Amino acid sequence: MPRYAFKIEYNGAPFAGWQRQAEQASVQGAIEAALARLEPRAHTIAAAGRTDAGVHATGQVAHADLEKDWDPFRLSEALNFHLKPAPVAILACARVADDWHARFSANERRYLFRLVQRRAPMTLEKGLVWRVQNLLDAEAMREGAQHLIGHHDFTTFRSSICQAASPVKTLDEITIEEITHADAREFRFRLRARSFLHNQVRSIVGTLERVGAGAWAPEDVKIALEAANRAACGPVCPPQGLYLTGVGYPDDPFAA
């Protein structure tokens, strides 16, 4: 059976997350239903990462095995037709080797978190960013973030229900970009690693927001990390500002 890789974009607001749910809408379920319209049978697709309820994606990757030898472009067009009106789009499709796996072949994940400091409620981007009202110090957050880069035990920044075998991960990069708007300041946190623990990004951003607000000193991030205790973590920020922006592979299946 030919195997196909998909690059996927979605708005996570109406879904209970990526993973198929028995009673609730999911991104995986929407795509599998669209596949069943093309090849009537039960389908199971595998993704590079399982995003939580409310989390968005601009570069999720998944794969599926099909019976027909599809032209990748025609397959993506057909899936996009059958996905309507769900806020899910197939951005690219590629034929891959039978042993290629969206999750296990990946060597990098990239996330973006959008935090907006503004007094007024969000309207046009409601559900797409995390809004806070308190002033934030970008330099303090950058200083605090430096303590997290590298190879560490991230127990403090790991959900209590995380199923990863080990809390030890290597965080390759955290950058914080500040964008000034007429009535707001936006902070874009970009994180890159081979893999992440459950709620790791939201735990990190929530903690750094406390640094930016002046409730924590930048050095407190190092103390919390070394505690290796979930109770030492700052507040976990909401999912609405989180985006899975890309998944890296030794050979990019979508390069062509």
Residues carrying an active site annotation: 52
**Rounded distance between C-alpha atoms, residue 211 and residue 214, angstroms:** 5
Q: Is the separation of the CB atoms in 1 and 95 below 8 Å?
A: no
Return the amino acid letter for 56: H
Is 12 in contact with 53 (CB distance < 8 Å)?
Answer: yes
Are the C-beta atoms of 116 and 185 separated by less than 8 Å? yes
Question: How many residues does the structure list for the chain?
Answer: 256
Rg, C-alpha atoms of the chain: 19
202 in Cβ contact with 189 (< 8 Å):
no
Q: What is the DSSP string of 170-204?
A: EEEEEEEEEEE-SS-EEEEEEEEES---TTHHHHH
